[in-house]
Amino acid sequence: SAVISQKPSRDICQRGTSLTIQCQVDSQVTMMFWYRQQPGQSLTLIATANQGSEATYESGFVIDKFPISRPNLTFSTLTVSNMSPEDSSIYLCSVVFLGQYYGYTFGSGTRLTVV
Amino acid sequence: QQQVKQSPQSLIVQKGGIPIINCAYENTAFDYFPWYQQFPGKGPALLIAIRPDVSEKKEGRFTISFNKSAKQFSLHIMDSQPGDSATYFCAASQETSGSRLTFGEGTQLTVNP
């Protein structure tokens, strides 16, 4: 399994500002995902981060609000733009290994509070 | 909409008890069924996973039972300990397409000493 480093681990941000979350993986992975976990809730997929092309967003999530970059096979960023208190959540990066060692690994998450 | 239904929402057992968490899925194309354990302030950690070609899988004190015809699977924790107190999520995906995980709603487990 991969080791995922996610930064920052937590932040408190002002309404209307933006925060960029970084996800660094210790090995090359084909697929990276960004999830949101609202307080006391399950995980909801925001988007699949595609290397070298635009991210694929799930229903209810748009690029203007959650722009994603994936410049290479080990790194991705998620930006939460023009934040409101409703964006207060844990944001998680995840990767999947295909083939013999198929499985999903998650980062420790970024706990975001918008005030 | 691909869905995975999980129950119960919360569960309290005494130390040594055997909590059982159940999940049901709709999409018959799912072929990978993991369980994740999440402690407060941490990301989900893979506990155990099963594929539909087997009906049961054990890893230590954790067992998955799988019923393909009923489209259901469950997690059993043998000899539960207070350190097992966490939130547990079932999930499902379609390995052949490398698709993302679809999660259940989660079960908050408390194991009392």
Domain limits, chain B: 4-112
Q: Are strands A68-72 and A10-13 parallel, antiparallel or unpaired?
A: unpaired
CA B84/CA A9 separation, integer angstroms: 24
* A98 part of a folded domain: yes
Q: Which residue has the tokens 């909801």?
A: A44
CB contact under 8 A, B34 and A102: no
Q: How many CB atoms lie within 10 A of CB B72?
A: 14
Structure confidence at residue A53 as a pLDDT band (50, 70, 90):
confident
* A115 part of a folded domain: no
Q: Is pLDDT at A98 greater than 80 in this prediction? A: no
The chain A residue lying nearest B10, using CA atoms, is A40
Residues of B in contact with A94 (CB under 8 A): 101
CA torsion sign for A69, A71, A74, A75 is negative
Q: How many CB pairs under 8 A join A and B?
A: 51
Residue-level pLDDT at B61: 97
CA A25/CA B29 separation, integer angstroms: 29
Contacting residues for A100 by C-beta, under 8 A, at least 6 apart: none
Calculate how close chain B gets to A32, using CA atoms only, in Å: 9
Q: Is pLDDT at B10 greater than 80 in this prediction? A: yes
CB contact under 8 A, B44 and A43: yes
Mean pLDDT of chain A: 93
Q: Are strands A68-72 and A75-80 parallel, antiparallel or unpaired?
A: antiparallel
Domain containing residue A26:
4-109
- Burial label, B62 (beta-carbon count in 10 A; 0-12, 13-18, 19+): middle
Domain count for chain A: 1
Q: Is pLDDT at B1 greater than 80 in this prediction? A: no
Please report, for residues A21, A65, B6, B109, the alpha-carbon distance to residue B13 in angstroms, rounded to integers and kept in the order given.
38, 42, 18, 8
Calculate how close chain A gets to B55, using CA atoms only, in Å: 19
CA B111/CA B86 separation, integer angstroms: 9
Q: What are phi and psi of A30, to 5 degrees?
A: -75, -45
CB contact under 8 A, A42 and B89: yes
Q: How many CB atoms lie within 10 A of CB A87?
A: 20
Query: Which CATH number covers residue A64?
Result: 2.60.40.10
Residues of A in contact with B34 (CB under 8 A): 103-104
CA B76/CA B22 separation, integer angstroms: 9
Residues of B in contact with A103 (CB under 8 A): 34, 46, 49
CB contact under 8 A, B98 and A96: yes
Residue-level pLDDT at A103: 83
* A67 part of a folded domain: yes
Residue-level pLDDT at A102: 77
Across the interface, of B49, B89, B103, the residue whose CB is closest to A103 is B49
The chain B residue lying nearest A109, using CA atoms, is B43
Residues of A in contact with B105 (CB under 8 A): 41-42
Q: Is pLDDT at B11 greater than 70 in this prediction? A: yes
CATH code at B4-112: 2.60.40.10
Closest CA to A5 of A20, A19, A24, A21: A24
**Residue B16: alpha-carbon gap to chain centroid:** 19
Q: Is pLDDT at A50 greater than 90 in this prediction? A: no
* A114 part of a folded domain: no
In this structure, what DSSP letter does residue B17 have?
Answer: -
